[in-house]
Amino acid sequence: MYQALVSPFLEFSFMQRALLGALLLSVSSCPVGVFLMLRRMSLAGDAMAHAILPGAAIGFLLFGLEIVPMTVGGLIAGVVVALGAGAVSRFTLQKEDASMAAFYLISLALGVLIVSMRGSSVDLMQVLFGTVLALNDEALTLIGSICAITLVTLFVVWRGLIAECLDPLFLRSVSRIGTPVHFAFLGLVVLNLVGGFQALGTLLSVGLMMLPAAAARFWSIRVGPMCLLAVAIGMIASVAGLLLSYHFALPSGPAIILSAGAIYLASILFGSRGVLAERVRHRHRTA
């Protein structure tokens, strides 16, 4: 048991770095995923994950696989897409989900095209799916900084976020904090997707954000416990995915996301608000 579960993280520094990066991402992105889910913006998060690709690709085109240029480019692209989709939905007849989907598809195609102009298929796979087993000090510093910023921001805007999840129109009618809270939250989404991009790539970074949050929903109805459960699930999925990757020579990013997906499927069935529990409660009510 020790050799299977503990030894890989003690003997190999790349496994230690991967574990630290994945745990930091879980602490940072899983609570953001809970609020995305409660605000019914889960698919918007997926669209934003792809929206950062052109900026990261331009950074790659100019500087190669350097973290800082790709991060800055991803942040700029994410902000541009978020503002562009919001402007289209505000000033035209098109709804925000449709405009976000359009921007997401354009961004994804443009990013793949830019990477392909200079890089090989290996570079493209690294940008799309990440390299959690190759995280260096610079990447860990970036992810740790994003984690700290996220936790501080959530502490400051916690009540505003909960109020906006319940009734955003009421919040805007009685307080002026609605709009700042909304944009602060969108900033956190982009930041965490950029952090996840370093480890899991643009296609999978949203997975660690949303799957633990969706699983936690089947265990709790309170926001605080739901966030803590999501973080715990993200950590468990990270450890399980890295171990699966190590022992069975699987791609580490997909292994982590599939581990989170397995917990999500189990939560649907066995969660305190899952299918089986609801059937038991229904039988007691009809008995």
Number of neighbouring beta carbons within 10 Å of residue 107: 26
pTM of the model: 0.89
Give pLDDT, residue 112: 82
Res 171: pLDDT: 66
Q: CB count, 10 Å around CB of 129?
A: 19
The predicted pLDDT at position 119 comes to 63
CA dist 41 and 110 (Å) reads 24
pLDDT of residue 45: 77
Radius of gyration of the chain, Cα coordinates, nearest whole angstrom: 19
Contacts of 73 (CB under 8 A, 6+ apart): 54, 55, 56, 57, 58, 59
Distance of alpha carbon 198 from alpha carbon 143, whole angstroms: 8
Sorted by where each begins, the domain ranges of the chain are 2-286
Secondary structure of residue 219 in the 3-state scheme: coil
pLDDT single digits (tens) 78-117:
888 877 777 776 677 777 667 777 887 888 888 888 877 7
Q: How far is CA 267 from CA 214, 218, 261, in A?
A: 9, 6, 10
Q: Report pLDDT for 122.
A: 63
CB 181 within 8 A of CB 155: no
Cβ–Cβ < 8 Å for 146, 197 = no
CA distances to 15, 128, 192, 207, 232 from 30, rounded to whole Å, are: 21, 20, 9, 10, 9
- Residue 77 is predicted with a pLDDT of 87
* pLDDT for res 3: 79
Q: pLDDT tens, 224-259?
A: 999 999 999 999 999 999 999 999 988 898 999 999
- Confidence at residue 181, expressed as pLDDT on a 0 to 100 scale: 84
Contacts of 75 (CB under 8 A, 6+ apart): 52, 55, 190, 191, 194
- φ, ψ for residue 130, nearest 5 deg: 75, 175
CATH class given for the domain over 2-286? mainly alpha
pLDDT for 33 equals 94
Position 244 scores a pLDDT of 94
Pick from 111, 91, 116: which is nearest to 49 by CA? 111
pLDDT reported for residue 115: 79
Question: What per-residue confidence (pLDDT) applies to 135?
Answer: 87
Are 238 and 185 in contact, with CB atoms under 8 Å apart? Answer: no
Give the DSSP H or E segment for 78: helix 67-91
What is the pLDDT, as a whole number, of residue 23? 96
**Given this model, what pLDDT does residue 107 score?**
84
Give every residue of the chain whose pLDDT is below 70, as ranges.
89-90, 96-97, 119-124, 168-174, 287
pLDDT score, position 163: 84
Q: Which two tokens stand for residue 67?
A: 């973290």
Three-state SS at 236: helix
Query: Rounded CA gap, 28 and 21, in Å?
Result: 11
State how far the Cα of 189 lies from the Cα of 157, in Å rounded to an integer.
14
